[in-house]
Amino acid sequence: MTKKPSSISTDRTHNLSIKGKSFHIKLISLSLLAFLIRVIYVIVFEKGDLLNGDAFYYHHASKLLVDGLGFTEPYRYIFGGEQELLFVSDPSYVPETANRNLPIGHIEPTAGHPPLWVIVLAFPIFLGFSSVLIQQIFCSFIGAIGVFAIGWATREIAGDKAGLIASGLASIYAFLWLNDGLLMSETLVVMLVALLIGFSWRLYSKNSLSTLILFSLIGGLAALTRVELIIAIPFLAIPILRDSSQDLKKRLLNYSAVGLIVAATVSPWVIRNLTQFEEPVLISNGSGILLAQTNCDATYFGDKQGYWEYLCGLPQPLGENGEATDESVRDKEYRKRGLDYASQHKRHLLTNVVPKRMARLWGFYAPIEQLRADKLVEGRSFSLSFIGLLQYYLLIPFSILGVVRLKQSKKFITPVVTIPIIATLIAAMSMGTTRYRVSAEVPLVICAAIGISYLVGSLKNLNTEPDTELAYNSATTKC
Of 319-323, 330-334, 352-356, the range with the lowest mean pLDDT is 319-323
Q: How confident is the model at residue 479 (pLDDT cuts 50, 70, 90)?
A: very low
CB atoms within 10 A of CB 133: 15
Residue 269 within a domain:
yes
Q: Which domain holds residue 96?
A: 50-459
Percent of the chain beyond pLDDT 90?
A: 81
The pLDDT tens digits for 37-87 are 999 999 999 887 777 889 999 999 999 999 999 999 999 999 999 998 888
Q: How confident is the model at residue 339 (pLDDT cuts 50, 70, 90)?
A: very high
The tally of domains found in the chain comes to 1
CA distances from 450 to 105, 162, 249, 296, 402 (A): 52, 5, 35, 42, 5
Residue 468 within a domain:
no
Pick the closest to residue 119 from 56, 64, 51, 193 (CA basis).
64
Where would I find the beta strands (DSSP E) of 153-308?
Answer: none
The pLDDT tens digits for 250-288 are 999 999 999 999 999 999 999 999 999 999 999 999 899
Per-residue model confidence (pLDDT) at position 204: 87
Residue 43 within a domain:
no
Residue 283 within a domain:
yes
Q: Rounded to two decimals, what is the model's pTM?
A: 0.91
DSSP 112: S
What Rg, from alpha-carbon coordinates, does the chain have? 25
DSSP codes joined into one string, 48-65: TPPP-HHHHHHHHHHHHI
Mean pLDDT of the chain: 91
Residue 74 within a domain:
yes
Residues 6+ apart with CB under 8 A from 44: none
The pLDDT tens digits for 381-408 are 999 999 999 999 999 999 999 999 999 9
Pick the closest to residue 445 from 400, 395, 371, 404 (CA basis).
395
Residue 35 within a domain:
no
DSSP 3-state of 109: strand
CA distances from 39 to 42, 43, 98, 171 (A): 5, 6, 44, 12
Residue 249 within a domain:
yes
Residue 11 within a domain:
no
Helices within 65-93 (DSSP H only): 74-79
- Tell whether the model's pLDDT for residue 478 goes beyond 90: no
